[in-house]
Amino acid sequence: MKILYLYTEVMGYTLSTVKELINLNYEVHIVNWDKNQQVPMKLKKIEGLTFYPRSEYNYKDIINLGKKISPNMVVVSGWQDLGYLPAAFYFNSKNIPVIAGFDDQWKGSIRQKIAALFSFIIRKFFSHAWVSGLYQFEYAKKFGFKNNQIIYDLYSADINLYNQFYEQKFDQINSYPKRFLFVGRFENVKAMDILLDAWKLIESNRDGWELHFIGNGSLKSKLTQEDGIIVSDFMQPNELVKEIPKTGCFILPSRHEPWGVVIHEFASAGIPLVCSEATGAASTFLINNFNGFIFKNNNSNDLAKKMLKIINSTDKELFEMSKNSYEMGKRISPLSSAMNLLSILD
């Protein structure tokens, strides 16, 4: 059995599901962007998985490659690559399942409403929608997909990797680590300014807590000029996880965050969470006042209040919040992601 992925950027969480598919005896082929990537992931060789650099294939080549592979299903994530659509149309016309990945939220914008009006055209390319969560389900419905044509768990963190650090955290430390951490792209959409403003608002009440940033992006030079914070370069997953035992709370202040797998990753590691109400993954992995806090979008004052709640919590309360995050992280797994996809097949 073979699966063909037509992707823009392949991330670590993509591979967590792919590895599960391979464990289930599926052969996976991925055409992916090899240039102009936002996140510099290093793709390692995996038995049962073959990569094809997008820059070497035009739309006709992709169709021919697909014919050669003869997949049982095709997964398309990254509709902005119009070169993938002819292949999607071809395989859909041959009654081979073609699954569209939905990770954006339905906002009812003019652009989205116009796109929905032409959903009958989109449906000629895809047989099913694979959504990351509740908000994406709504988006897929707007495009005319029926309930039985929508599957869940598009994204899953590598929970086995992150779970081990939750266990180490309880084994190796006596006092709770006082570190706030942000991981991601240093761009305006991630609301770095909101987090920095909130950090300044609580300057006299930090009680030894630190604020760390890990990532890259156009705002990096500005961040490095700020006092009272620590900025580190983007890290590959095997390096990033080493920071987890030192982390007391993960913060994602994004203005717009369609999903945010990083929330799942840090929940699985047993880290309390603070994120904006714009974060899609919060609907699955964060319960306010249980394993963290949700703050009002674009509101540094509210973020400061939620950070102070973390700072003013006792170690016992923070460890309990950590345990709750760990349990919330089990809601989705690479296996549930893979089996949702395979549920389409007869």
- What pLDDT score was predicted for residue 170? 60
* Cα separations in angstroms, 203 against 33, 199, 229, 273, 311: 43, 6, 11, 20, 12
Average pLDDT, the chain: 92
- Residue 172: the pLDDT is 57
pLDDT of 219 higher than 70: yes
Which tens digits make up the pLDDT trace of 182-193? 999 999 999 999
Q: Which helix (H) or strand (E) holds 295?
A: strand 292-295
Mean pLDDT of the region 41-53: 84
pLDDT beyond 60 at 41: no
At residue 197, does pLDDT exceed 60? yes
Please determine, looking at this structure, whether the domain spanning 2-157+333-342 carries the CATH number 2.40.30.170.
no
pLDDT beyond 80 at 40: no
Query: Would you state the pLDDT for residue 34?
Result: 84
Q: Is 268 exposed, middle or buried (0-12, 13-18, 19+ CB in 10 A)?
A: buried
Q: At 314, is the pLDDT very low, low, confident or very high (cuts 50, 70, 90)?
A: very high
Which residue type does 68 have?
A: K
pTM comes to 0.92
pLDDT greater than 80 at residue 168 = no
> Any idea where the domains of the chain sit in the sequence?
2-157+333-342, 159-331
Residue 341 has pLDDT above 90, yes or no: yes
Residue 241 has pLDDT above 90, yes or no: no
- What is the model's pLDDT at position 318? 95
Per-residue pLDDT at 325 exceeds 90:
yes
Mean pLDDT, rounded, for 316-321: 94
- Mean pLDDT for 308-312 is 98
What is the mean predicted confidence (pLDDT) over 156-175?
78
Decide if 143 contacts 123 (C-beta within 8 A): yes
Q: What is the pLDDT of residues 245-289, one digit of tens each?
A: 899 999 999 999 999 999 999 999 999 999 999 999 999 999 999
pLDDT at 78: 72
* pLDDT band with cut points at 50, 70 and 90 for residue 80: confident
Q: Indicate the range of 74-88, 155-169, 178-192 predicted with least confidence.
A: 155-169
Reply yes or no on whether the pLDDT at 42 is more than 80.
Answer: no
Sequence-distant contacts of 40-47: CB under 8 A, at least 24 apart: 40/216, 40/234, 41/9, 41/10, 41/11, 41/12, 41/236, 42/236, 43/10, 43/15, 46/15, 46/18, 46/19, 46/22, 47/22
Higher pLDDT, 261 or 107: 261
**At residue 39, does pLDDT exceed 80?**
no
159-331 placed in CATH 3.40.190.10: no
**Topology agreement, domain 2-157+333-342 and domain 159-331:** yes
What is the pLDDT averaged over residues 13-27?
94
Q: Is the pLDDT of residue 169 over 70?
A: no
Give mean pLDDT, residues 290-311. Answer: 98
